[in-house]
Structure 1
């Protein structure tokens, strides 16, 4: 999940532990000024009465790590990101201090916070079906008679491969987040938890010197078979049971991650480890810690266009999150009116995320989006946005839709980003530079023969483009997204693109990307294609894009074409 999406938060649900009334009052006072509703819930109570899945919600916990764990249990199944405020004592997870509450919230609502994806663990056994963020522990049950046997034997299998028999106090299966708890005390490694998706199997007080922790991917199915009575606990007892001999426990990575909000006001992870665990390797020498020198650049602090590119990428991928979620709902809806409501909501959510993020970062720029009121500016820069290009595809559950964001300077497109949510592909380019899909450079084809070429078309009102070119090429395809058509031209998936009518937000980003990849872009009369931001008359423009060598043959054929338009 992308932190930029948090810029559209309109609801905060706060789980409040005893003794946190002052912090709650400060939250409510701050939120009232922002026009955001706050719903406080006492620790241990259900949030169903206040949670509305249609609202952009941020979860907040006031307390220590125990309260934060309850927040994970509450918010993770609902895909709600969580910010932990430490009003307790010892905290590895809730890392915002009360003095920084308002500043951390301000950063979050500006879309500048990050959202960590945290691996969770799923445990299933007789009497238990639970998810945890820290660990699953299987341990011996203390005997009634203190002189009786105090160890347990557990057989462990990984994806049906026998790992071995563990004899001792038991075992822990921990996530990277839980690696600083029981697993660390049992000589397990510390895992950096941010976006780290793994599990580790750690023996507890084993009777064999050579037994070491094992790290496995989260898809691994760990089957633990008891060879005597054993206690099963998830996250320190938030779910627990007593198992008999020869019962089986299935432990694997949970499909649903937890989403943890991190701000610049959080206690950093490794200083927190050093402070709370006395980790001596961070003790600086007399000259202080050595400053890092690295070739890595911080794109957000580079030149203006680099910063704009970074913001556009973050805005596009953040908007892709709700589009993917709502696209899944469209696929399961039967009634047309319900589909229409979902598509409208998808357009609205994506547009709100993008315009809010760009407006926060560049308040002096104009913003021109298909889905919202135009924001004028006296300066030279305007953003052209189509938050959902390919609405018809989206409405029918087709994956060919995109998010298109372009930056225009004095009428000329200078930067473009097109994001394809269903494939997670991100196309981008700056005018005069190279074009990329993700981090891979892309270029157009060099075919110069029409009969070897694949063409893409947009709206073809009388079928004339299809009839003129289908037999003379290797096919004409209509995808339904002008932005994607231009990106496919740029990446060599097609040799030419024709659009009968375009709006500037349809094609601005794609034009930058296609030109940077080597494409030739003109109108139907072979004149340079120019964006017209004054579209009050609703006139649209014809666009022809090609790899270059094919362009003359395409324009010659188009000039001889007679278009019989349908009556209005």
Structure 2
């Protein structure tokens, strides 16, 4: 989950431990001031009466790690991101202190926090079907007579491969989030938990010197067979069962990740273990000078390209900064589109499909425009989905949150998000994101174009019979009828923004649009031109991008060398202009 998506938060549900009244009062005052709805629920209680799946919800836990784990149990199945406020003692998960609560929440709703996707662990077996974020512990059952045998034996398979027999006090299958304490006690590794999607099999008090912890992928199926009674606990007892001799359980990575919100007010992971566990290879309060530049963002975001930018320290280049913000906004808006696209594919009723498409447009547009407004409040915004807002400094954003609506409505993956920034009316920065394939096209005018960070450019073909063409809106079939037999084919994808990006990246040699809307082509224009494309109207005149154009504006784009042949062939099929 992208942290920028949190900018649209309109509801907070807080799970509250006892003796947290002062923090709840703080939170209530903050939500009242910001116009955010707040519901509070005692730890252990259900949230069904206050949770609305159609709202942008942030989960907050107020307590220690136990309360945080209850929050994961509640929020993760609902795909709700969670922020932990620490009112406990030794806390590794809830890392925002009460005095920083308001500042941390401000960071969240401005879209400047990060979201860690934490691997969960799932266990199935007789009488047990549970998920946890920390670990599954399988341990010996204490004997009634204290001098009786105190060990357990467990056979373990990884997929179809026999790992071996573990003899000792038990096993732990832990996530990177839950590995720290268990690994320390078993002389195993400490896992850096941020976006680390692995599982770790840790033998407990083994009786053999050569037995070591094992790291596996979350898709690995760990089948564990008991050779005696054993106690199974998930996340410290939030699910529990006594296993009988000869029973089998299956442990693997859970399909759904938990989303943990991290702000610059959190203790970073290595700071936390240094303070609380005596990690003594660093001075907690004196990091090296090379780390200072990333100290203002969470540890989850500091090493990631495109992390949230602090406007107070950002460079003066507006277009460079805008490119970063547009990238983050597009990727954040892509998440609800992917989620809703999956629903469209399974719905047969036309009216229900229409409702989902409308919701997809609305959610994506709200995320993008909120992020832009937070970072560039002085800029204008033009979107297909909302009234225009005039800017004050010559910069205007042009947004199409869902280009290819028809494709989306039919479960077709060829749809995109297009974001552009105009400088004095001219497209100067463009981003086009394809949610279903996770492709990102981007450019700043005059600086070259990229796909997923790698430079792209148009082809150099100059013969129609060697070229692949793309047709956009072509109501009377003029382009198709005149070029299908003369070329290697004419394809129609249904997204003008994508058409221009495929021209830019060399996947096609030319593209045609009978009529264009500014929001459909603004981002793709920057990308195609930066990659070397020639863009004109059907007469060969330079394409005039006009945000206020009234009437038809045709677009013919090519790699440049093919353009004369295109124009010659196209003119034969065009009506004679009225004198």
Q: TM-score, normalised by structure 2?
A: 0.94
In the other structure, the counterpart of 1:492 is 506
2:289 alignment partner, SS class = coil
Q: Hey, what does 1:259 align to over in structure 2?
A: 259
1:530 corresponds in structure 2 to 544
2:575 & 2:19 partners in 1: Cα distance? 74
Q: C-alpha displacement at 1:564, in angstroms?
A: 11
Query: Counterparts of 1:236 and 1:563 in 2: how far apart (Å)?
Result: 76
In the aligned structure 1, how far is the partner of 2:365 from the partner of 2:232?
47
Cα 1:284–1:45, aligned 2, differ >3 Å: closer, same or farther? closer
Query: Counterpart in 1 of 2:457?
Result: 443
- The corresponding residue for 2:61 is 61
- Residue in structure 1 matched with residue 145 of structure 2 by the alignment: 145
Q: Write the distance in 2 (CA, Å) between the matches of 1:329 and 1:289.
A: 47
How far, CA to CA, are the matches of 2:42 and 2:288 in structure 1? 46
Deviates more, 1:151-160 or 1:27-36: 27-36
Please, which of 559, 566, 577 is the counterpart of residue 547 of structure 1?
559
What TM-score, normalized to structure 1?
Answer: 0.96
Q: Secondary structure at the match of 1:163?
A: strand
* Candidates 342, 345, 354, aligned match of 1:331: 345
Name the SS for the 2:535 alignment partner.
strand
Aligned counterparts of 1:433 and 1:225: Cα–Cα separation in 2: 60
Measure how far apart 1:163 and its partner are.
0.8
Residue 478 of structure 1 corresponds to which residue in structure 2?
492
CA distance in 2, matches of 1:336, 1:207: 64
Label 1:290 to 1:59 Cα distance change in 2 as closer, same or farther (>3 A).
Answer: closer
> Aligned pair in 2 of structure 1 residues 563, 39: CA closer, same or farther (>3 Å)?
farther
Q: Is the 8 A contact 1:28 1:38 kept in 2?
A: yes
Structure 2 residue ranges without an equivalent (≥5) = 295-302
State how 1:77-476 maps to structure 2 within 5 Å: 77-283=77-283, 289-292=287-290, 300=309, 301-302=314-315, 303-476=317-490
Q: Distance in 2 between matches of 1:30 and 1:452?
A: 63
Matching of residue 513 in structure 1 with residue 552 in structure 2? no
**Distance in 2 of aligned mates of 1:373 and 1:91:** 47
Which residue, out of 537, 542, 557, partners 2:569?
557
Deviation, 1:284, is 7.3
Q: Distance in 2 between matches of 1:376 and 1:506?
A: 19
Q: Is contact 1:123-1:252 (8 Å) kept?
A: yes
3-state DSSP of counterpart to 2:387: coil
**Alignment CA distance shift 1:470-1:156 (3 Å):** same
Distance in structure 1 (CA, Å) of the matches to 2:576 and 2:520: 24
What SS class does the counterpart of residue 398 from structure 1 fall into? coil
Offset, 1:298:
8.1
Is the partner of 1:236 in helix, strand or coil? coil
Q: CA deviation at 1:185?
A: 1.7
Inter-CA distance 60–159: structure 2 relative to 1 (3 Å threshold): same
Listed one character per residue, the Cα deviations across residues 139-183 of structure 1 (whole Å, up to 9, x for unaligned) are 111111111111111111111101111110111111000011223
Q: Which residue of 2 aligns with 1:17?
A: 17
Whether the aligned pair in 1 keeps the contact of 2:306 and 2:328 (CA below 8 Å) is: no
Query: How far 1:551 sits from its partner (Å)?
Result: 0.5
Q: Structure 1 residue 534: deviation in Å?
A: 1.1
On the 8 A contact 1:462/1:563 being kept in 2, the answer is no
Cross-structure match for 2:299: none
Query: Helix, strand or coil for the counterpart of 2:46?
Result: coil
- Structure 1 residue 289, shift from structure 2 partner: 4.6
SS of the residue 1:88 aligns to? coil
- The whole-number CA distance in structure 1 between the counterparts of 2:462 and 2:181 is 64
Tell me how far apart the structure 2 counterparts of residues 136 and 437 of structure 1 sit (CA, whole Å).
42
Once residues 148 and 552 of structure 2 are traced to their aligned partners in structure 1, the CA distance between those partners, rounded to angstroms, is 86
C-alpha deviation, 1:441, in angstroms: 1.7
Name the counterpart of 1:32.
32
Contact 2:182–2:202 (Cα < 8 Å) also in 1: no
CA contact (8 A) 1:462 1:564 kept: no
Question: 1:452-500: per-residue Cα shift (whole Å, max 9, x none)?
Answer: 1111011111111111000101111110000000111111111100000
The answer to whether the Cα contact below 8 Å between 1:174 and 1:183 also exists between their aligned partners in 2 is no
CA deviation vs aligned residue, 1:49-69 (integer Å, no higher than 9, x gap): 111111111100000000000
For residues 530 and 564 of structure 1, what CA distance do their matches in structure 2 show?
21
What's 1:48 paired with?
A: 48
- The structural deviation recorded for 1:136 is 0.6
Aligned to 2:300: none
Residues 321-366 of structure 1 deviation map (CA, whole Å, 9 limit, x = unaligned): 1111111111122221111111111111111100010011011111
SS in 1 for 2:173: strand
Whole-angstrom distance in 1 between the partners of 2:536 and 2:261: 46
Residue 172 of structure 1 contacts residue 183 of structure 1 at CA under 8 Å; is this kept in 2?
A: no
Contact 1:10 1:37 (C-alpha < 8 Å) held by counterparts? yes
Q: Provide the C-alpha distance between the structure 1 equivalents of 2:232 and 2:435, rounded to a whole number of angstroms.
A: 40
How far apart are the structure 2 equivalents of 1:194 and 1:14?
A: 23
The Cα shift of 1:4 comes to 0.6
Looking at structure 2, the residues matched to 517 and 181 of structure 1 have their Cα atoms a distance apart, in angstroms, of 52
Tell me if the contact between 2:136 and 2:235 (Cα under 8 Å) persists in the aligned partners.
yes
Distance 1:224 1:508 in 2: 57
Kept in 2, the 8 Å contact 1:464–1:563? The answer is no
1:2 to 2:2 alignment: yes
Separation of aligned partners in 1, 2:505 and 2:51: 44
CA separation in 2, counterparts of 1:489 and 1:258?
39
How far apart in 2 are the matches of 1:322 and 1:290?
A: 39
CA distance in 2, matches of 1:534, 1:76: 45
